[in-house]
Chains A and B, each alone.
Chain A
Amino acid sequence: MAGEPIDDAIAALSNLLKEKAELGTVAAAKIKQLTAELEAAGSSPFNPDERIRTGFDHFKKEKFEKNPDLYGNLAGGQSPKFMVFACSDSRVCPSHVLDFQPGEAFVVRNIANMVPPYEKTKYAGTGAAIEYAVLHLKVENIVVIGHSRCGGIKGLMSIPDDGTTASDFIEQWVQICNPARSKVKGGAGDSSFPDQCTTCEKEAVNVSLGNLLTYPFVREAVVSKKLALKGAHYDFVNGSFDLWDLDFKVTPSVSLV
């Protein structure tokens, strides 16, 4: 079964590891992953239809049919208390991480959980979602959740200083949070690139929170205390979750004369 290509590949890897022993751990993890994938593929090829069918059947039997009151109410309408911005990353769905149940959270997911500033001519998708959530659903909280090892943030931090980009859309999108990148690069000192990315993941959440306030209906709801803005960071490497508030208020005026 082992032909020449596989022998050559293994020989090349062995030679590389002789020169760079520090790559051993990474190589071992990747080989383990590959072995698992090949085992799984060998036993039964991935069938997407079967996968979603199984998922739906489980949902119907274990959740829908066991909670008729809840699902009956939801069929009539939704009144979530939360709007959530989360990353599209497959590992950070808020339904898992914060155990949101159906009806609880109106969720927008995009690359690096970004909120672009108010802008009438582009990124209407975000504006539409915020407008619907704040003015129609009247959510009480908007939470922007960043996360560890975010590919979008890493992409942002990897854009060269001269601004040249290699992608059609990704880099243009992530540059929404350029202020976060500038802040982190400015104060980086000796920190490693991964540490800078972690800091940027959190700073980018703050940029998005600030951008939320550029939407007049958000600002009004926050000032009248009908809406709270929160930032969060889910670290799936260490299993931790940070949550913070954006404090924004207008104090009563004081007469100076």
Chain B
Amino acid sequence: MVGSLVHWDTSWRTVLPTNSSSVVSSRTRPCPKFMNWARIDGCHAAASFKEKQPENKGIDVGNMAEAGGNHDLFGLMKQRFLTFKNHTYMKELEHFQALSKAQYPKFMVIACADSRVCPSNILGFQPGEAFMIRNIANLVPLMKNGPSECNAALEFAVTTLEVENILVIGHSSCAGIENLMKIQDVESRSFIHKWVTNGNVAKLRTKAATAHLSFSQQCRFCEKESINQSLLNMLSYPWIEDKVRRGLLSLHGGYYNFSSCTFEKWTLDFNGCTVNEENNSYVIKEEEFWS
């Protein structure tokens, strides 16, 4: 089952200039254990990998897109990992060593799987800052809907990591929301349909509020409405509701419009929310719009 195992911890040793001050830079501590290890095994590594130091890489989507064949792809992924390693990991070695022992993120982020909206890019989250779920249309189902990928991650983030903020980030032109808005019949034929119907309450509210608007405007409305629905759905988890009630956890919504590059952010006002079987309603506060 396992074929062509590639291990990339030897090659980085050759690209580290052992006489350079730049890697150990401003750290006022003795040579870290990595460097000792590197020097000892450097001669073995140099023999097996004769690689150039990866150049400073600007955004070049073409590289990944044009890679043909497995070897190219492995080569590209290696280059990408080494870029991270040399430009980030080694420069913040002490920080990464501390992180390797434990994580203390202040945020849990729920974002869409869409390739254009990674919160590490658009909000600059660094390693250690945000525990992240990514799924289609950044949806959070109600607890009573049964086991889902979301529940376990929410439980871990809230009860074990004790994050202080949960941020649900939606975005423009979300295909998942568009799918939700297009579904005509109740019967879920595909996985996609079955999953996006977790946002059905948002769809109903959207249809009620925006019947006079175009389909794409309705989708924009639903993208934001579903964020608020997900925030409310989180309150169906008792350990979340308890922490929010006690002021230990805040629930935020965020909306990224990637055509205009704007970001809206708001916070759920817990005291103004009602969550029960017949009806749920929400109030938001601290709205901001960044452009």
Q: Which residues in A have some Cβ–Cβ distance to B below 8 Å?
A: 29, 33, 37, 46, 48-49, 51-60, 63-65, 67, 70-71, 74-75, 78, 80-82, 88-93, 95-111, 120, 122-133, 136, 141, 148-149, 151-152, 167-170, 172-174, 206, 209-210, 228, 231, 235-247
Contact = CB atoms under 8 A, between A and B. Distances in A.
A74 B65 CA distance: 14
B17 to A, nearest CB: 16
Contacts of B117: 102
27 contacts: A46-B164, A48-B164, A48-B252, A49-B288, A51-B129, A52-B167, A52-B254, A54-B124, A55-B123, A57-B290, A78-B115, A81-B65, A96-B84, A99-B80, A99-B84, A101-B60, A101-B61, A104-B115, A108-B134, A123-B149, A125-B149, A128-B195, A151-B160, A152-B156, A172-B152, A244-B2, A244-B3
Contacts of A241: 7-9, 78, 81
B61 A104 contact: yes
A168 B8 contact: no
A104 B64 contact: yes
Contact of A170 (B155, B167, B195): B155
A98 B88 contact: no
Given A46-B106, A100-B115, A103-B115, 14 more contacts: A48-B107, A59-B124, A88-B153, A90-B127, A90-B129, A98-B77, A99-B57, A107-B115, A110-B152, A136-B175, A174-B152, A241-B7, A242-B5, A242-B7
Contacts of B252: 48
A236 to B, nearest CB: 5
Interface string B178-196: 0000000000001110111
A149 B100 contact: yes
B217 interface: no
Contacts of B139: 125
B243 to A, nearest CB: 15
Contacts of A245: 2-4, 70
Nearest to A36: B98
User: Which interface residue of A96, A149, A167, A242 has the most chain B CB atoms within 10 A?
Assistant: A96
A233 B114 CA distance: 23
A245 B173 CA distance: 34
Contacts of A107: 113, 115, 118, 134
Nearest to B125: A55
A133 B261 CA distance: 25
A33 B98 CA distance: 8
Contacts of A54: 124
Nearest to B197: A124
Contacts of B245: none
Contacts of A247: 1, 3
Contacts of A105: 115
Contact of B85 (A92, A120, A239): A239
Interface in B242-266: 250, 252, 254, 258-259, 261, 263, 265
Contact of B12 (A120, A123, A236, A239): A239
Contacts of A243: 5-6, 8, 74, 77-78
A58 B124 contact: yes
A110 B149 CA distance: 6
Interface of B: 1-9, 12, 34, 57, 59-61, 64-65, 67, 70, 73-74, 77-78, 80-81, 83-85, 88-90, 96, 98-107, 113-118, 120-136, 139, 146-157, 159-160, 164-165, 167, 173, 175-176, 190-192, 194-196, 250, 252, 254, 258-259, 261, 263, 265, 286, 288, 290
Contacts of A167: 152, 155, 159
Contacts of B261: 60, 64-65, 71
Contact of A55 (B124, B134, B155, B258): B124
Nearest to B88: A96
B125 A93 contact: yes
Contacts of A111: 149, 152-153, 156
Contacts of A125: 135-136, 139, 148-150, 195
A64 B121 CA distance: 10
B149 A126 contact: yes
Given A81-B64, A132-B175, A97 B152 contact: no
A151 B81 CA distance: 23
Contacts of A53: 265, 288, 290
What are the nearest 6 A-B pairs in CB distance?
A240-B9, A55-B124, A127-B191, A173-B152, A128-B195, A169-B151
Contacts of B194: 120, 124, 127-128
Given A52-B167, A70-B59, A95-B118, A132 B84 contact: no
B128 A90 contact: yes
